[in-house]
């Protein structure tokens, strides 16, 4: 009798452990069994340097989606980013998508200004107004070698020209 109690306790512990592992796998893997709660949108960029699949998509500083995948459109020679946006988020065709850095040397993420003056983007819609990431190395190089003009320098050049 004592042997069966021990085997039963071990069996219950094992089943509970497997349920916990399954739950964590679903939560951490962002898997949904009861239907998808997001829709796809696309954006075209001249460069997506530093962005990767799984990067966060923000609107007003709030996470609203993730980058699903990226590929090159051979016809237009542009990078196409596919993202998944939560269903309750509305984005319009005058939206602006920009690739930004979290902090000075942090991960890249996608920031969307959702617009509002145009038509509502349907699932599979394309955001055409985009801004590629800022190349910090290029800016530092320009500043170090004197190619960057100070804000007042542009006015001086205009006044000097006859």
Residue in the structure block whose two tokens are 């998509």: 57
In terms of residue numbers, what domain contains 93?
A: 38-135
Asked, for residue 23, whether it belongs to a domain, the answer is yes
Same domain, 23 and 52: no
- Is residue 47 included in any domain, yes or no? yes
Domain count, the chain: 2
In a domain, 160, yes or no: no
Distance CA 96, CA 127 (A): 7
The confidence score (pLDDT) of residue 57 equals 92
- Output the CA–CA distances (angstroms, integers) from residue 139 to 41, 135, 152, in the order listed: 31, 6, 18
Q: What is the pLDDT along the chain (162 residues), one digit of tens a residue?
A: 677 888 888 889 999 999 988 888 777 766 655 556 888 999 999 888 888 888 899 999 899 999 999 999 888 888 999 999 999 888 888 888 998 888 767 788 899 988 887 788 888 888 888 888 876 677 777 777 776 566 555 555 545 555
How much is the pLDDT for 58? 92
Residues 7 and 47 in one domain: no
Residue 141 lies in a domain: no
C-alpha to C-alpha distance for 39 and 27, rounded to whole angstroms: 19
């Amino acid at each position: 009798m004592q042997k069966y109690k021990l085997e039963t306790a071990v069996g219950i512990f094992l089943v509970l452990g497997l349920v916990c592992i399954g739950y964590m796998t679903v939560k951490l893997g962002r898997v949904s069994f009861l239907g998808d709660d997001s829709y796809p949108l696309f954006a075209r960029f001249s460069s997506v340097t530093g962005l990767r699949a799984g990067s966060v998509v923000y609107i007003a500083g709030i996470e609203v989606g993730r980058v699903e995948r990226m590929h090159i459109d051979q016809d237009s020679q542009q990078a196409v980013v596919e993202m998944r946006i939560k269903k309750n988020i509305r984005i319009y065709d005058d939206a602006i998508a920009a690739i930004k850095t979290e902090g000075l040397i942090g991960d890249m993420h996608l920031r969307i200004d959702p617009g509002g003056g145009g038509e509502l983007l349907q699932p599979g819609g394309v955001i055409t107004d985009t801004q590629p990431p800022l190349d910090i190395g290029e800016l530092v190089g320009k500043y170090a070698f004197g190619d960057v003009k100070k804000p007042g320098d542009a006015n001086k050049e205009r006044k000097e020209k006859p």
